[in-house]
Amino acid sequence: MIPGSHLLSVLIFFPAIGALALLLLRGDDHVWIRRLALTISIAEFLLSLLLVPGVQPGVAGYSLVEYYNWITNPPIHYHLGVDGISVFLIILTTFLTPISILASWSSINHRVKEFFVMLLMLEVGVVGVFVSLDLFLFFLFWEVMLIPMAFLIGIWGHERRIYAAIKFVLYTMAGSILMLVGIIWLYNLTGTFDLPKIQQLLQDGRFAALTSQQEMLLFLAFFVAFAIKVPLFPLHTWLPDAHVEAPTAGSVMLAGILLKMGTYGMIRFCLPLFPNAAHRAAPWVATLAIIGIIYGALVSLIQPNLKKLVAYSSISHLGFVVLGIFAFHNISMQGAVYQMLAHGISTGALFLLVGMLYDRRHTFEITEYGGLATPMPLLAAFFLFVALSSMGLPMLNGFVGEFLILLGTFQLHANWASWAALGVILSACYLLWAYQRVFFGDVTVEKNRALPDISSREFGILATMAVITLWMGIGSTFFTHRFAASSQNVLDQMQRTNPQQATRPSAIEEFPRTTGGRDFRRAAKGSPSRPALAAEGTSRASQSSTNSDNAPSAQNSPALQPFQPSQTLATIIPSGARDLLLPVSTPHPRVVVLRTSGKDVRRTSTSARATKSAQASTPTSPAAPGAR
């Protein structure tokens, strides 16, 4: 872990100080309340950009670490840190907060001071979740986030706002209780709430007392809490009501940031802490994710409410993220993280556009619109651009994440990727059909003819979102290059099946290869370095050349067995050819293992094939089973 300054603490508590400053203003001074809230949120965003140089590409551990003793008994620490995954989620949070404030500039007219105080306090809780490395501290910020969001829905929402707010609180609290039980269980097991220490104990194999059933229960305690927040089918029923009844700023923050806390928790806690349970549950989780992808798209396809259509599309898109996480492949993991960021921008922009329509017509029913491209050409153009990005058009941000998820998943589970690809097709269907009904054709409602187009403030918001969408589509390596190592680190922490295996060294060193921002790794850890292997091969080659008469014949060479993923290269390649580079004069065939779409291709040298053909021409005893 790389220590840093107090930047993370500043990012957490600066919005809270700003909220206190807002409370000092008069409640009817709406102009300065809005100005101060916007200034604080923009300053917070600029401060968060300092995280990018603070987290170096290729560094898998935590950076900018802050560690202080907080409570002695039980041992609770103020432990903060970020890696390549959490840093961009923090920046996404600080970016969408001023966007939400601008979107609420004229639509919120009662309890204005309290509204912006709730937005800033929501930012405090979300940033705290993404930087916490102590389980107790993580849970504290998780609950801090719940209160402002419930008030945003319940006070400034629409007709059924109380029902939606209570439903949101009940679902989230039910998951929080399960997660709290899991946290306490882990503390009783390890004696610490510190996440890196718990991960280290797991890596060292010191959890011998944890049975497979207990690990599964702990996994479910965390997973259900995060699955509710995603939300994953069938725990999704709170989301459409919360989205439809929330104000525009609440919907943007909910879809853009709060849903990502669930998938972030799966990556940060479920996979590294409970790898065996995660592997056993992966088929079931993938099935639920695929059902959510298809179900969310089908409901969006027949949805008469425009805002509820966008809400169900979030269920479909977040299903891709969960699928990429539980495919356990580096490419799909990177795609899941990227899709979290892309979904926050594209779906947040969709909710902004729907909110702008609502401000003019005060309805979300698609039948109340039609032909809006005539009176509102600029809004229609931005809506089409964002819809294309949400459905995964190449060169826009939505394509990169879904493509990486499907690519990585297909290499290990082709059937999963095949079913999930239906969601991409259906997303084009419901988004384009909704766009056609809202913007194309004749103006069906007479009052729509006089609707004003977007204002300069709204144009600035949508133009900013469009630029970010395009940049993420064509400059994706800026992001993937920075969280590739962190994604691989999560998978590396899962490479253990029991305490004995966790402490057993592997045979071959791991060689990282980075291409286009993606970190590809071969072989296993813990072997001699490549120069050492080359030296060993040279030594064996010299011994073989001086003792050629004693060299083993091709008939006595070890038979090539089918390659298993759990085998290391040392169990397959003959000892005289371990150098992989230098020629060996012994008649052992050289084996070159080529990884191509998960398949292993072996080629023997010309001398080995000649020896084999010579054996075929001479009657010999039957070959050993498994020989080639």
pLDDT digits (tens, 9 = 90+) for 36-72: 999 999 999 999 999 998 888 877 788 888 889 888 8
Q: 271: which residues sit within 8 A by CB, 6+ positions away?
A: 278, 325, 328, 490, 491, 493, 494
> What is the structure's pLDDT at 27?
81
User: Three-state DSSP class for 253?
Assistant: helix
User: Three-state DSSP class for 365?
Assistant: strand
> What is the structure's pLDDT at 226?
94
Q: Tell me whether residue 479 is in a domain.
A: yes
Q: Tell me whether residue 248 is in a domain.
A: no
The two beta strands, 599-601 and 594-596, are antiparallel
Q: What global pTM score does this model have?
A: 0.76
Decide: 47 and 14 in contact? Cβ < 8 Å.
yes
For residues 234-266, one letter each, b for 16 or more C-beta atoms within 10 angstroms of the residue's C-beta and e for the rest, the string is: ebbebbbbbbbbbbbbbbbbbbbbbbbbbbbbb
Tell me if the bond preceding 231 is cis, omega within 30° of 0: yes
> What is the structure's pLDDT at 110?
86
Q: Tell me whether residue 520 is in a domain.
A: yes
Which range scores top for mean pLDDT: 330-339, 490-499, 590-599? 330-339
CA dist 522 and 569 (Å) reads: 10
Same domain, 403 and 310: yes
Same domain, 467 and 566: no
Structural domains of the chain, count: 2
Same domain, 356 and 475: yes
Percent of the chain topping pLDDT 90? 46
Same domain, 289 and 388: yes
H/E element, 259: helix 259-265
Question: Residue 584: which domain range?
Answer: 503-541+552-612
Q: 493: which residues sit within 8 A by CB, 6+ positions away?
A: 199, 202, 203, 271, 272, 275
Same domain, 528 and 605: yes
CA dist 467 and 457 (Å) reads: 16
Amino acid at 181: V
Please spell the DSSP secondary structure of 26-83, one letter per residue: -TT-HHHHHHHHHHHHHHHHHHHTTHHHHS-TT--S-EEEEEEEEETTTTEEEEEEE-
Same domain, 388 and 317: yes
Same domain, 521 and 488: no
Same domain, 338 and 380: yes
pLDDT above 50: residue 548: no
pLDDT above 60: residue 607: no
Amino acid at 182: G
pLDDT above 80: residue 324: yes
381-390, 426-435, 490-499, 601-610: least confidently modelled range: 601-610
Decide: 94 and 127 in contact? Cβ < 8 Å.
yes
Decide: 304 and 365 in contact? Cβ < 8 Å.
yes
pLDDT above 80: residue 217: yes
The region that residue 415 occupies, defined by phi over 0 for left and psi between -120 and 50 for alpha, beta otherwise, is alpha
- pLDDT category of residue 338 using cuts at 50, 70 and 90: very high
88-92, 239-243, 439-443, 557-561: least confidently modelled range: 557-561
Q: 57: which residues sit within 8 A by CB, 6+ positions away?
A: 84, 481, 482, 484, 485
H/E element, 499: helix 499-502
> What is the structure's pLDDT at 441?
83
> What is the structure's pLDDT at 595?
42
Q: Tell me whether residue 337 is in a domain.
A: yes
pLDDT above 60: residue 502: no
Average pLDDT value over all residues in the chain: 80
- Mean pLDDT calculated for residue range 24-34: 88
Please spell the DSSP secondary structure of 592-613, one letter per residue: --EEETTEEE----HHHHHHHH
Both tokens of residue 358?
A: 């609502």
CA dist 434 and 369 (Å) reads: 10
Q: Tell me whether residue 603 is in a domain.
A: yes
> What is the structure's pLDDT at 435?
92
> What is the structure's pLDDT at 205?
67
pLDDT above 80: residue 608: no
Tell me if the bond preceding 196 is cis, omega within 30° of 0: no
pLDDT above 70: residue 556: no
Same domain, 468 and 587: no
CA dist 176 and 188 (Å) reads: 18
Q: HSE of 442 in the Cβ direction (CA atoms, 13 Å)?
A: 3
**pLDDT tens-digit map of 430-489:** 999 999 999 998 888 888 888 888 999 999 999 999 999 999 999 888 898 888 888 888
pLDDT above 50: residue 208: yes
Both tokens of residue 503?
A: 């402490």
User: Three-state DSSP class for 132?
Assistant: strand
CA dist 372 and 335 (Å) reads: 35
SS3 of 162-224: the string is HHHHHHHHHHHHHHHHHHHHHHHHHHHHHCCCEHHHHHHHHHCCCCCCCCHHHHHHHHHHHHH
pLDDT above 90: residue 628: no
- Mean pLDDT calculated for residue range 228-234: 89
Among 385, 387, 373, smallest CA distance to 453 is for 373
Q: Tell me whether residue 416 is in a domain.
A: yes
CA dist 105 and 234 (Å) reads: 36
Same domain, 431 and 511: no
Residue 399 to residues 301, 390, 427, Cα–Cα distance (Å): 20, 8, 12
Same domain, 566 and 484: no
Decide: 608 and 587 in contact? Cβ < 8 Å.
yes
Please spell the DSSP secondary structure of 436-457, one letter per residue: HHHHSSS--SGGGGG-----HH
CA dist 269 and 265 (Å) reads: 6
The two beta strands, 76-82 and 63-71, are antiparallel
Residue 537 to residues 554, 577, 591, Cα–Cα distance (Å): 19, 6, 14
Q: What is the DSSP letter of 270?
A: I
Q: Tell me whether residue 47 is in a domain.
A: no
Same domain, 572 and 597: yes
Q: Tell me whether residue 127 is in a domain.
A: no
Both tokens of residue 63?
A: 């950076």
> What is the structure's pLDDT at 59?
78
Percent of the chain topping pLDDT 70? 77
CB-CB neighbours of 608 under 10 Å:
18
Tell me if the bond preceding 74 is cis, omega within 30° of 0: yes
Decide: 550 and 542 in contact? Cβ < 8 Å.
no
H/E element, 325: helix 306-325
